[in-house]
Chains A and B, each alone.
Chain A
C-alpha cells in the first residue's frame, strides 16, 4: 500500500466511522426532547407552552383525557391521558390554580405508546389541561376538577 492509497483508505475509514457515530447516536442517544425546568416556574398554560417552544395551541378531540369531576382528596387525583395525535412527543399535565401549574411532562420515544396514568396534587378546584406536543404543534384537552379537600397542604 503506498502513501496515497493508505491516506485515502484512512479517509474512507474516517468517513465511515463518522457516519457510524452519527447513526448510532441517532439510535442510542437519549430522547432529545424534554421540558426545561423554567417551565415549572411560570404561572399560566400560555407561559408553559411558550417555555416548551410553542406559540399557540388548539383543542383536540384526539386526546383522551380522564380526570375525576370531583376529587375528595386533592393530594392524590388520578389522571390518564392517551393521545391519538400522530407524532406525539410529549404529554404534560397543567393545573391552572396550582402554585406551579405545570405538574409533570412525559417525553416519548418512537417505541412508547403516547399514554400515561399517574396521580397528581390539585390544591383547589381548577381547570386541568392535558397538553400534547406533536411534530405539528401543541394541542389540549381540558377538564374541571372540583376539589373538596386541598392537596398542597398535605
Chain B
C-alpha cells in the first residue's frame, strides 16, 4: 500500500485551492537500475478529485509526471469544512484515496 497523500485545501475569497502531494515512483520504463536492467514502467494513469462526493476534475497522466507527484488545483462552490477527496490509480491497477477538510 502506497503512503498517504498530503492534501491541503484552503478556502480563499474567490475559490478553494487544493495542494496535493502523492507518494509514487512514477517509473517511466526507460530508467536503468544499478545493474543496468530496465526498471519496468509503473506510473499513475488517473487522478480524480471530488468535493462532498461531487467530481471537480479528473486527470489522465503519462509516465512523465514527476516522481512523488504534486498538483495544485482550484474550484468554486465549497466552503470551510467541506471534504475534498483525491483518488489515484496506477498502471498496475493499484489505487489510493485520501481526504481532507477545507480549512
Q: From residue B62, how far is it (CB to closest CB) to chain A in Å?
A: 4
Contact of B56 among A76, A95, A100, A111 (CB under 8 A): A111
Q: A31 touching B58 by the CB < 8 A rule?
A: yes
Interface flags, B36-66, vs A, CB<8A=1, else 0: 0000000001001001001111111111111
Contact of A107 among B30, B57, B66 (CB under 8 A): B57
Q: A103 touching B31 by the CB < 8 A rule?
A: no
| A28, B52: Cα distance in complex, Å | 12
Secondary structure class of chain B's binding surface, majority of residues: strand
| A112, B66: Cα distance in complex, Å | 23
Secondary structure class of chain A's binding surface, majority of residues: mixed
A57 within 8 A of B: no
Known: A31-B55, A108-B57. A100 touches B63 (CB 8 A): yes
In this complex, what residue of A is CB-closest to B71? Answer: A118
Among the listed stretches B1-9, B74-82, B95-103, which one makes contact with chain A, having 4 or more residues with CB under 8 Å of it? Answer: B74-82
| A105, B55: Cα distance in complex, Å | 16
Interface size class of A (residues with CB under 8 A): 35 or more
Interface size class of B (residues with CB under 8 A): 20 to 34
Q: A111 touching B76 by the CB < 8 A rule?
A: yes
Q: B62 touching A152 by the CB < 8 A rule?
A: no
Q: B30 touching A152 by the CB < 8 A rule?
A: yes
Among the listed stretches A32-40, A58-66, A134-142, which one makes contact with chain B, having 4 or more residues with CB under 8 Å of it? Answer: A32-40
| A116, B64: Cα distance in complex, Å | 16
Contact of B60 among A107, A108, A117, A120 (CB under 8 A): A107
> Footprint of A on B, CB under 8 Å?
15, 28, 30-32, 45, 48, 51, 54-67, 69-78
> Footprint of B on A, CB under 8 Å?
28, 30-31, 34-35, 37, 39-40, 75-77, 95, 98-100, 102-109, 111-113, 115-122, 151-154
**CB<8 Å pairs between A and B, sample of 10:** A28-B54, A103-B65, A107-B59, A109-B54, A109-B75, A111-B77, A113-B73, A117-B72, A119-B69, A119-B70
